[in-house]
Amino acid sequence: MLDTTVLPPAPVGGAAPKSAAARWSGVLLSPWSRLSLLVVLLAGAATAMLLFEPQKVLADGWPPQLGGVAAATAFAVAYGLCTVAFVPRPLLNLAAGALLGSQFGLAAAVAGTVLGAGMSFGLGRVLGQDALRPLLRGRWLTAADGQLSRHGFRSMLAVRLFPGVPFVAANYCASVSRMGWTPFLLATALGTVPNTAAYVIAGDRAQTPTSPGFLIAMGFIALSGLAGAVVAWRKRHQLRDC
């Protein structure tokens, strides 16, 4: 007896049709879907900071059961999360000095800075780089991307040493470039120490605003801000000539 079973037609070109799960997976993992997820995460983090108002810690004081290394560790973690949620670093640095003192405050602030920078860099690299790199057109954007990609450590060190570029903006610009993790984190750790120390000391000595330590710290903050403005002006002309 002849077999009359009708076989389904073979796919054109011999390729098996994609399942619905595979198609949805491709859509969800596409560059623009990941970028949308990044935007939602950052918006949610910023909203959470506005609702919970972490600045209340300045008025209420640090929990009395925490002290020394434990307090510095907890503050560093909170610091890192707050920077990802766009809380200004100067406010956090002042809080570190006021709550923990100069030594523990500086250690916690630098550790929190590196932690927050690493989190932002990782989020931008995983969720945003593929979608945003094709948009890097124009003379200024191309020059800035080339500077960060070819001279990552030197460029990021200059950005951290001379304030002017917002902390979070620098993190995500670096993540979109081809800068590596090591130069980014190392430049962040080294470059943020001087300015962070000035703010921490100012926070620690805020109750004695006429003390030499407070006046020196505020003078350094003013001078570094002026130097940052000068460097930004010079870089502006260099990028224009590219």
Which residue ranges make up each domain of the chain? 32-241
Residue with tokens 């003390």: 211
Per residue in 127-151, pLDDT (tens digit) is: 877 766 666 665 556 666 777 778 8
- What is the structure's pLDDT at 133? 66
CA 149/CA 167 separation, integer angstroms: 18
The pair of three-digit structure tokens given for residue 159, joined into one six-digit string:
């950005």
Q: Does the pLDDT of residue 8 top 60, yes or no?
A: no
pLDDT confidence bin for 104, thresholds 50/70/90 = very high
Query: Which residue type occupies 11?
Result: P
CA 198/CA 194 separation, integer angstroms: 6
pLDDT confidence bin for 25, thresholds 50/70/90 = low
- What is the structure's pLDDT at 197? 96
Contact 170, 156 (CB under 8 A): yes
87: left (phi over 0), alpha (psi -120 to 50) or beta: beta
Per residue in 40-70, pLDDT (tens digit) is: 888 888 888 778 776 666 556 666 777 788 8
- What is the structure's pLDDT at 111? 97
Maximum Cα–Cα distance across the chain: 107
- What is the structure's pLDDT at 181? 93
Residue with tokens 């810690």: 57
Residue with tokens 């080294």: 190
- What is the structure's pLDDT at 38? 78
pLDDT confidence bin for 92, thresholds 50/70/90 = very high
Q: Does the pLDDT of residue 13 top 60, yes or no?
A: no
Kindly state the percentage of the chain with pLDDT values over 70.
72
- What is the structure's pLDDT at 186? 96
Q: Where are the alpha helices (DSSP H) in the chain?
A: 20-28, 31-52, 56-60, 68-84, 89-123, 129-132, 139-150, 152-161, 167-176, 181-191, 193-204, 212-241
CA 14/CA 8 separation, integer angstroms: 13
The listed range with the strongest mean pLDDT (9-18, 165-174, 187-196) is 187-196
| Lowest mean per-residue pLDDT among 10-14, 18-22, 69-73 | 10-14
